[in-house]
Structure 1
Amino acid sequence: MPIIISKGQELYPELAAFMGGWFHQDFDIHGDSLEEVVAAFKAESDPDLIRPLVDDIDAFLSSGDEGMDARFQELFNPDIIPTAFRPTTREFLVAIREELIAERS
């Protein structure tokens, strides 16, 4: 049986995996906020996974703002609504990016 790879997995594999693994319908098992979910990801993941994920976020963001919400939905088919966390999909992704690169003491 062939493996089916979505367009999101093909273009942005780390972002697709992150969305499916951390911002799914039961995301709240990892926390109640974007910050808590990203902190749980960082705590449970190999640090070498952060840079490729940030790179995928940057690549998606650079694809332009026009139609971003629809493109995000089409590519990642998320179980969550990004605008439930931030006013726009762009702000949602930027907030994730900032949390990923933030140094915690």
Structure 2
Amino acid sequence: MNYENLYQLICGRFHEDFDLFGNTIEELVLSFTRECTPEEINATVTDIDRFKGDHAGNLDTAFEEQFGRQFDPTLWGHTTESFLDELKRLLLSE
């Protein structure tokens, strides 16, 4: 897996039982960061930047291929890009 930390965040929190960890993106990211070291949080931010850079021309398709079975950002009122940006913002604010 090329984006292991990002995968852990999305698949570990944004799944069918997400409400075990929270009901908003903010709550889900907070529950994730509480279990992470600062290095793991930074690695997740790096994964987000790398994923966006690696798939700049086909971000939606790449996200669906990588995470589509687990999560769809549009169900949370986001585009793929705005969702990744929000994750990054929340991770950096912790």
TM-score (norm 2): 0.86
* Runs of 4+ with deviation above 4 angstroms: none
Structure 2 unaligned regions, length at least 5: none
Larger Rg computed on CA atoms: 1
Matched, 1:60 2:51: yes
SS state at 2:46 partner: helix
Give the aligned residue type for 2:59: M
Instruction: Considering fraction of residues, name the structure with more helix.
Output: 2
How many angstroms does 1:63 deviate by? 2.6
Residue 40 of structure 2 corresponds to: 49
- Percent of pairs with identical residues: 35
Structure 1 unaligned regions, length at least 5: 1-8
TM-score (norm 1): 0.78
Query: What RMSD, in angstroms, separates the aligned Cα atoms of the two structures?
Result: 1.6
CA offsets 1:58-102 (integer angstroms, 9 cap, x no match): 011113443211110112234221112243100001000000001
Q: Take 2:57 and 2:76, find their aligned partners in 1: how far apart are those partners? A: 20
